[in-house]
Every structure is written in structure tokens, then in C-alpha cells.
Structure 1
Amino acid sequence: IWAELLGLDRVGRHDHFFELGGHSLLAVRLLSRLSPAVGVEVPLSTLFARPVLCDLAESIVEDLSRADRKDLPAIVAVSRDEPLALSFAQQRLWFLAQLDEAGTNYHIPMALRLTGRLDRAALQRSLDGVFARHEALRHVFVAPDGKPRVRVLPADAGLPPVEHDLCGRADAEAALEDLCREEAHTPFDLSRGPMIRARLIRLSHEEHVFLLTQHHIVSDGWSMGVLVRELGQLYRAFAAGHDDPLAPLGIQYADYAAWQRQWLSGDRLQSQARHWREALSGAPARLALPTDRPRPAQQSFAGAGVPVVIDPALTRGLKRLASQQGTTLFMTVLAAWAAVLSRLSGQDDIVIGVPSANRGRREIEELIGFFVNTLALRLDLSGAPSVAQLLERTRRTALAAQEHQDLPFEQVVEIVKPQRALDHTPLFQVMLAWQDAAVERLDLPGLAVEAVGNAYDQVKFDLELSLGESGEELAGKLHYATALFDEATIERQRGYLLALLRAMVADAGQPVGRIELLSREERTYLLEELNRTEADYPSHKCIHELFEAQV
């Protein structure tokens, strides 16, 4: 199992999971395979405590000796004769959609430029194939009695792209921008569907732009990887005159939704609810970040972003630090981000939202659907912790959250009952999204494929830091609400994060609160330039004469 997930030919009994390239998401996938194989649930904390293969095996043997082997409940197909239930996550988004039917904040857009000879028939068959294969993409949401239910569109309904021909037009690029903007901002009708749509824009005989937009209620980031991979496999097969190469799926998203409602009940539900009630009790309702403008009475979702790049040398240093402290890269960056937010806000109790893939079951890894959950991680920076102490606190918090990740965020909010307001999101206003999974690229034979436009003009929170490994470095973006912040402010915050990460790598024993965040230029500006208040004045006159002149 280790070799399969880590992409290795061989794994030795004394090998260390994280030193072989394991990370948080791979750890979750490992346990989703391991638990059914051995018959006991293996907590994530066990893998972090005993990451060497033989030690982990010994721990599992100890667990087996204390408990009877039992098969974990399987996800099975449910009848399609009865109305299908929404998952907890779908139910939350459906409710939000009723409050803002014209909203586009939960769209998942993709725009790709295709250069080369496009086989349009193969592309159409590929889109139809994915649409038929994944039932979630055919979900529509009806509520005749006020209670939402899922209705499934026919598998043969197809997904024909809307086509536009800009060939030969002088204003082709401007028209393309307009079409991309129109596509991203056209709302879905949840009661009619489908929740996915495509456009194909022809710029020349061998240049097209392909737009694919999904509603988050049927998809998520992981699902995008599945969709892109399968579209490529189908296109390759159909363009070569072959049949569908994909193995049939054993279950569909609706089967998972039914299983989830049965599984997350009783003692398990109470245990998860108890954890979050205790973890978030008394947490601050709002992170008091200094903003460039007053917070509007109602939250604005207008946003922008600045790139964040952590160079290879610093990335290697962070990996060493994580290995020495028994954490992951994600936990290390999370600790640093919390420390920056603490310094900016003057608060030592920080809550940060973290998306969790929530794919802890082997059966759902290849499904398209809305599985992702949001975890509210509460970081304690009180008592002047050192870098090492903060990393240990962050590690404990992250592991506990992962082991209680099944309770949907909306239910967590209902349990904690934070103070609600229209001007900010409940529990947290800052997000850290970690892109653990390798980003799938659409691979179409005979075509060069590249992303079109990287505009990100909507945010769900005040600040959203998105990072992931890209080659030998960490790269991503820091998105921000433009109603609150100027770009220059966010660029400074990016600098604070990089400065703090460098200092953490240099000395894990130093107090986090004493790490210098300001660059030499910013320190000079604050202490010297802003304090240059000298001005010329007529020194030969007395003070009462100057006063009279001023009057």
C-alpha cells in the first residue's frame, strides 16, 4: 500500500513514511486503504507517532489484539426508486443558494487554450462519457414540499458545449474575454440543471478555447483532478478509434450521501460534536485585522490576489524543520500563518479555516462529487511559545481536527453558536488551502493545452492563502477581499510570512513573538520617513507673531 501511494517500487520495513515523500493527504489516503485491509480503524495520530513501517505494523498488531477484527461498514448502492437525499455538504450549499439565487461565488471555472488539430467529435464523446459516468454531474435539486431532494438527469442527456466562432474577427481577444467573463458569472439553476456546462470558442482552425464550469454542489478540487484525468483518457481513446477504456464505477455520489447520513449518527456523531464544541468554545468571533477601509455592513465577495513563491532553498529548509519537529509542510506553514495573523491582529487565539478533502474511504477516491469539508483550526499562541512549541501545538490541533473531520462545517457552526453578523463569516475569516495532490493537467494527444487567464475576482473570506508544492518550491496565491485591503497591504503581509518562515528555519528555539517581520525598507519608512516632521519657518519672529500670522 505504501509503495502504491508513494509511487515506489519497494518499501523497506525501516522506511519512514514522511521521509519517503508522504504528506497529510497521502496519509489520509493510506489509512483509507489500511483500515479495511486490517479490520481496525487506524487514527491519523498513530501514523504520525509511528511513521516507520515496522513500528506502524506493531501498533496495528497491538490494536488487533485488543479488539475483534470487524469489517468496516461498506458504502453500497441504494435504490433509485425513492427520492435521493442530499449529502450534508450539498444541503448546506443548497440552503446558501436559496439566499442568493443569482450568486456565482460557488462556481468552479476552468478555461483552457487548445492549440493544434482538435477532434471535436472525440471531445464531444468524452464530455458525454464523463457526464454519463458520474451521476453527481446529473444531479438537480428540487424541493416541492420545501425539503430538498435529488433528481437525476438521464445518463444519455449528453453535455454538448455551446460553440462560438471568433475566427477572423479583429476583436477576437476582446470578445474572448467577454465570453469568459460571461461564462464565469452566469448562475446555475439548481432545480433544472445540469450543474456543469461547457463552451468551445474557435479562434482559428487550430486554436480553440475550452471553458468548463461546474457548481460546487456537485464537485470540488479533488473532483477536478478526476474529471481532467478521465476527459484526457476518454479523448485519447476516442480519437484513436477505441472504446471507452474506463472501468465501471461501483458506487455513485448518492450512495455515499445515504451512507454518510447513516454512518454519522449515534455515538460517532456525539463524539465528533463533543470535540468541536470543546475545541471552539469561547473562540473569538472575529479576527481583528487592520484593514485599509472600514468593513462594509454586508460582506463583499469581490477579490483579487498576489502570487506567493517560497524558493527551493527555503522549501528545503522547511522540509527539514518539519521532519525534525514531527510535522508536515502544511502544519509548518499553518503555524507561520497563524503567527503572522497574531502579530497583525494583536490576538493570541487564532481560528483559521482549512479545507479537508474528506476522501477517507477508498470507494470514493475516483468519484466526482462535493466531498470537501471545512475544518476550523484554533491555534493557541499564548505564553510566548518558541517555534518548536508552536509547531507541536499546531500538530496536535491539526491531527485532532483530521480525526474529527466528518462533521459538516455547518453543523459545527450550529453546535458552537458563534455570534452571527452579515459583515463576516462565522468562526473564521481567514483560510489556508493546501494543494497536496499533484495538479492534473488535461492531456489531449496532438494538442498543446494551457490555462487561459488567471483572474480570481471572488473570495469567500477576508484572506485566502493557497499553497502547494510545485517542483522544488512552494507556490500559490494570497487572495484578499478588495473591499477591505489594498494590494500593497497584502504584498507586505506576504513579506511578513516569508520573513517568519526564514526565521523559523534558522532557529526553532526562538520565541515566535520576537521574530522580526519588517523588512529594512519598511522599518526605515515607519521609524524615519513618517517621523520627518521638520519644516522651514521664519525663525527671526517671536512665537506670538507666528500665532498672529496663523490666525
Structure 2
Amino acid sequence: MTAAADKAALTARLAGLSPQQRAALAARLSRKRQGPPPLVPRTGPRDTAPLGMDQERLWILDQLYPGTVTYTLGFGLRFVGEFHRDAFDEAVATVVRRHELLRSTVEVDGAQPRLRLHPDRGADLTFADLSRGPAEEKELRRKEFVRQQVRRPFDLSRDPVLRIGVADLGGGDHQVVQTMPHSFTDQWSYVRLNRELLEAYQARLEGREPELPDLPVQFGDYAHWQRAYFETEYGERHRAFWRDYLADVPDVPLLPYDHPVETEDRLGRQHNFVLDKGTAAAFISRAKAARSTVANAMAAAYAALLYEESGERDILVGVPSVTRGQAAVQDLVGFLLTNVPLRIQLPENPTPNDFLAATQAAGAAVAAHHETPFGEIVRAAAPERTAHGYPLLRTMLVHLDLAETVSYEVPGATVYANAVPEGISSMDVTVAWWHLGDLVYGRFEYRTALFEPETVDRLARRLLQLVELFATAPDTPLESPAARARDAVAAAWREALDRDNAGADDAFVASGGTPLLSARLARLLRGAGFDAGPRDIAPGTTLAELTTQLLARGNPLRQDTPPDTAVPGLVGVSEAYLERLFADASGAPVRDVLPPTRQEDTP
């Protein structure tokens, strides 16, 4: 067909459109020419606004667990030196006045939650004098104060969403504990909030106006823009990507659960570790040589651990991604975060280099879609929902390069960030790494209803060993004890049934099994180290079901917990020890913290 004929055919088709169809086509073409809608202050009343899409997801989860702190996020500051209460009070008020979100609650309009602005609302700011009492009990008093602060639930329909408690510990030592609903903040927002808070505090003491960044928009403007954006064809493009990217992703456990996952218990503990400086430097150097970011390399090392534990070569792990691509929101406080599933697909017998390459490929694949709200990702992937676990993701990897965000000098004092454990774990396991200069440390945060402390300790030790392997022997193939165990069960199955091949869905009786052969199979399995008996092998039991059942009782091919001497770092260290390392690395003086001793996980 010629160009003239093509044009004539198109003209005829357009002539046949109804007025409504022509208007819809013109609007669509106009949107394509204009690009995404711009982020500008919304028009109309400003006393209400929609929730952000990720914010609404967390708000809904919070409503499922009323009266709990499952979705509360805390942040700590330690003032070493002088503390001026009036200046601090005024600085808090300055920050709250700047951010409409900090003066908002959530109300339900029909079935739709919305933000309600309270113009004159302030923070919930309290002070406690804990300076009295035996000096040797000071740390206990501080920890109890932190525990009380972070375990107070929020009523998002009426409570101030910024709660700050300040404890005078005596001797020029003050602990500040900030808590907010997670739907109103994230770790990156806490960094911004505290930069503003300490600048306003310092300015008040120096008798000047604080130098704070302009805020072109407020969080409600961003939420309005975000929803409009994802209602356009741009939103559909993101959903289409995630629908294809996550198609046929295996729904298999990657972690060695000690207990059934059918529980809504979200209580959590933290198991801390510190990587020795030599291994940390070698690992970072190796990442750079492979043209990888440190965050990517740490995700690769964690993927290697999940591979060893599960034997799976198609691994899904979540990583947080800030949603601050629009310049106008760079300095906003709010929940501007999404969870991005990284699908790490590996070759057979993968080496650390293979894990690095696969993780880089996974990151590159999602790069153009990393600000998609997690709810939209779930909507696109449509995984099977359960009340017992987080949708789609069971485990997360978090990396923070702290750089200059952890220590501040104000008149008369040094201020540094410190941990305030919330005692919960929304994910089954979250591995967090922090990188500050030559200090690399982290923690396993885990649900206590699913894992025993000994299991988490073994995982943490093996992770540090894998980091060392990545740095020193990147071409060494990794073996998976889980995969070897599955092979051993399959080999016993084939031998007992005298078969050359066996599929995962093959049933015992359909494969020629008899009661006598079930006893033979059980003996073979016990000989390979498995806890097995004839009662485990019913007529309809498949090879996959038997393997899952046996591995749930333990893997006889799994290595024992590595001893201290085989681990390149320290595992199970106390929060007090970490705080001292952290403060020293950031240049902050620390008074009266505990000596570097091992202790049980932080509750």
C-alpha cells in the first residue's frame, strides 16, 4: 500500500469516529505531547489532601493491627554536652510549622482515607528527668525510657504524628527519642527532619534565623500529583513492566524457618554484627572493581546466603527505594519510599562474580520503574494474598551510606544518632547494613515467632563469611546445602523405587510404591541423616512434599554454626557496643556506655 493510500485509509477511519471518540483521542494525544503532569501546589482547599499511595498502603496495614506498634518507626539522638530545653522546644515548633504533614491526622471520608490538616497543632513533646539514681543503672534507665517511648501506639485519627521524648540522664547526657507512624515518615525523612531541627536549635542559640531549604510543595501536593500520575498511561506502563517482570516468579521459601509461618505475630528482635575493617575495605574495593555499588554488592552477598539456604536460583528480595525523583520533594518529610522487588536469576553453580552480575542486571532492569508504589507492584503481579505475611516479599535488604548524616556540632554539645529498637519486625527477616567511613556494621531484624535466635546467629555468621569470600575468592562456585539435600532425597526415592528418573510431582504409589518400599525409603533417608519414618510416606505423598517435610525438620547437610575464629568480624554484639563504635566513627564523644561485651539479641 502506498503512503497516499495509507493516509486515505487513516482519514476514513478518523471520519468514522464519534464525537466522544474523537475527544478521547485528542486528549490522549495531548497527554503524550505534554508528558507527565507537573508537580505543583494543588489548587482548591488545603485543609484536606489524599494520602500518598504508599502511605495509604501502610495506613491500611496499621489499621489491621490497632493498638500496636507494628508500623511505628523510631529515631534516636544523643546530646553529649549542654542541652537547652527552650531552644529545643522552639526548634521543634519551627520544623512542625514548615511541614503540613506533621500537623495532620487521617480521617475516613466514606471509604476513602484523607489527610486532615490542623493548622495550630504541634508535636507531642515531653521531658523526663532520669538523672537521679545509681550511676551503674544509668544505661538501664535509658533503655527503659526508649522502650516506653517506642512502644506507645498511635491513633492516627487524633494523635499528633510527631512524638518526641527527651530524657535527662545526668552529667550532660540527654537521650532524645522520636517516634512517628511509619506511614508518615521513613529513615531518609528522619535525616531531613533532624537536619532542620538541629539547624533551628543552633540558630536559636546563636540569635539568628535558621537557614532552611525552601519547600516548593507540601506532602499533600505530592500525594495529589502521584495519584494523578499513576492514573495516566505512564502508570499503566509501570504496571505492565512489573506484570511481566514478576511473571512466574517462584513462590518458595528462601529462609530456614524454625516455626510455621501461619501467624500474625510481628514481635521482633535484632541480632547485630560488625564486619572487621580489613574485610570491609576489601569487599568495598572488590565492588568498585566490578563496577558495582556497595549496596548492590551487599544485596548480592545476601542473595548468596538465600541461595545456600534454599537452593533456588531465582531469588526475590526486596530493597527500599526513595520516591524523591521530583526535585520539589527533596526536602519534604513524609513516607516517600517504596519496596522494589529485585529478581536475581542465577546460572548453575554460581560464583560471587555471578551473583554480582545477576544483582546488577536485576537493578538495571527495574531502574526506570523504581518509584512505582509497592501497592501498584502488587496489583500488577497479583500474588496470592495471606493474612500471615507481607505480600510478595518475605525478606528485605537495606543499605545506608551514612556519610555526614549522623553527627552534628551545636553550641556546647555534640549530637549523634543512636538506635531505638522498636521490638517489632514487619518482614520475616530484614538485613540492614550501615556504612560509615571504614566502619561497616549491621543487623538481622527477624520475627521471633518464625525463627530461633540460634538460626539467626548462624545466618549472620555465614553472611559475614560470604562477604569475605566475595572479596577474596570471587570465582569460587558456591554450593547449596539445601539443593544437595533435595538431591539426596531424590536419590533415595529413586533407589527405593528402582527408578531412573523422578519428578517433583511424582506420587509414591503412582511410582510403584508399596508399604514395604516405604520402609526401605525411610531407611535410606535415615542413612543419609534425615529424620524420616514410614509414616512420612503416604500413598499420595509426592517427592516435593516429602522433601519439604524432611527439610522442615532440619538439613543434615547444612554446615554447623561457624565459630568466632572463622568469622571476619563480631556477631551478637550489644547495642551499647555498636553505639560506641558508631559515635567514635562519627567523631562524637561518648560517656558511660557499656564496654564491648557480647550479649543477647536486642529485644
Could you tell me the TM-score, scaled by structure 2's length? Answer: 0.70
Deviations 1:332-374 (A, max 9, x none): 2212211211111222221111111122222211111110100
Amino acid at match of 2:45: D
Check whether the contact 2:304–2:352 (CA below 8 A) recurs between aligned residues: no
> Which ranges in structure 2 are unaligned for 5 or more consecutive residues?
1-31, 482-556, 564-603
1:81 aligns with 2:45: yes
Aligned to 1:323: 288
Gap change, CA 1:505 and 1:189, over 3 Å in 2: same
The partner residue of 1:142 within 91, 95, 107 is: 107
Following superposition, the deviation at residue 167 of structure 1 comes to 4.4
Amino acid at match of 2:341: A
Q: Which has the larger radius of gyration?
A: 2
CA distance in 2, matches of 1:106, 1:465: 18
Check whether the contact 1:496–1:517 (CA below 8 A) recurs between aligned residues: no
The partner residue of 1:273 within 239, 246, 249 is: 239
Check whether the contact 2:429–2:446 (CA below 8 A) recurs between aligned residues: yes
1:240 aligns with 2:206: yes
Gap change, CA 1:304 and 1:520, over 3 Å in 2: closer
1:433 aligns with 2:398: yes
How is 1:152-551 mapped onto 2 (pairs within 5 angstroms)?
152-154=117-119, 156-159=120-123, 161-169=125-133, 176-204=142-170, 206-291=172-257, 293-438=258-403, 439-450=405-416, 454-513=420-479, 518=559
Amino acid at match of 1:426: P
Amino acid at match of 2:186: D
Following superposition, the deviation at residue 454 of structure 1 comes to 4.8
Check whether the contact 2:425–2:447 (CA below 8 A) recurs between aligned residues: yes
Deviations 1:271-305 (A, max 9, x none): 211111111122233424323x3225323212222
Amino acid at match of 2:460: R
CA distance in 2, matches of 1:185, 1:129: 26
SS for the counterpart of 1:501 is helix
> Which ranges in structure 1 are unaligned for 5 or more consecutive residues?
1-67, 523-551
Amino acid at match of 1:217: S
Gap change, CA 1:332 and 1:208, over 3 Å in 2: closer
Check whether the contact 1:124–1:159 (CA below 8 A) recurs between aligned residues: no
Amino acid at match of 2:454: A
Check whether the contact 1:284–1:349 (CA below 8 A) recurs between aligned residues: yes
Following superposition, the deviation at residue 142 of structure 1 comes to 0.6
Aligned to 1:96: 61
Following superposition, the deviation at residue 179 of structure 1 comes to 3.5
SS for the counterpart of 2:410 is coil
Deviations 1:53-94 (A, max 9, x none): xxxxxxxxxxxxxxx998875421113516311110111122
Check whether the contact 2:406–2:416 (CA below 8 A) recurs between aligned residues: no
CA distance in 2, matches of 1:463, 1:314: 24
Deviations 1:236-281 (A, max 9, x none): 1101222233243211111111111222233211221111111112
The partner residue of 1:126 within 91, 94, 101 is: 91
SS for the counterpart of 1:319 is helix
Check whether the contact 1:418–1:427 (CA below 8 A) recurs between aligned residues: yes
CA distance in 2, matches of 1:310, 1:517: 23
RMSD between superposed Cα atoms in Å: 2.9
Check whether the contact 2:303–2:355 (CA below 8 A) recurs between aligned residues: no
Deviates more, 1:433-442 or 1:375-384: 433-442
Following superposition, the deviation at residue 151 of structure 1 comes to 1.0
Deviations 1:453-501 (A, max 9, x none): 6545211112111013221242211222222222222222122222222
1:117 aligns with 2:82: yes
CA distance in 2, matches of 1:321, 1:175: 43
Gap change, CA 1:268 and 1:347, over 3 Å in 2: same
Gap change, CA 1:168 and 1:78, over 3 Å in 2: same
CA distance in 2, matches of 1:106, 1:383: 39
Aligned to 2:534: none
Check whether the contact 1:139–1:218 (CA below 8 A) recurs between aligned residues: no
Deviations 1:88-111 (A, max 9, x none): 011112211221221212222123
Could you tell me the TM-score, scaled by structure 1's length? Answer: 0.76
Check whether the contact 1:319–1:329 (CA below 8 A) recurs between aligned residues: yes
Check whether the contact 1:107–1:184 (CA below 8 A) recurs between aligned residues: yes
Gap change, CA 1:365 and 1:452, over 3 Å in 2: closer
Deviates more, 1:202-211 or 1:244-253: 202-211
Following superposition, the deviation at residue 175 of structure 1 comes to 5.3
CA distance in 2, matches of 1:69, 1:316: 49
Check whether the contact 1:315–1:472 (CA below 8 A) recurs between aligned residues: yes
CA distance in 2, matches of 1:416, 1:136: 31
Check whether the contact 1:228–1:441 (CA below 8 A) recurs between aligned residues: no
CA distance in 1, matches of 2:562, 2:177: 43
Following superposition, the deviation at residue 437 of structure 1 comes to 4.6
Length, aligned pairs only = 455
Gap change, CA 1:496 and 1:238, over 3 Å in 2: same
Amino acid at match of 1:279: Y
Deviations 1:319-341 (A, max 9, x none): 33323333222222212211211
Following superposition, the deviation at residue 429 of structure 1 comes to 1.0
CA distance in 2, matches of 1:313, 1:174: 34
Aligned to 1:57: none
Following superposition, the deviation at residue 141 of structure 1 comes to 0.8
Deviates more, 1:462-471 or 1:198-207: 198-207
Gap change, CA 1:464 and 1:151, over 3 Å in 2: same
Amino acid at match of 1:274: A
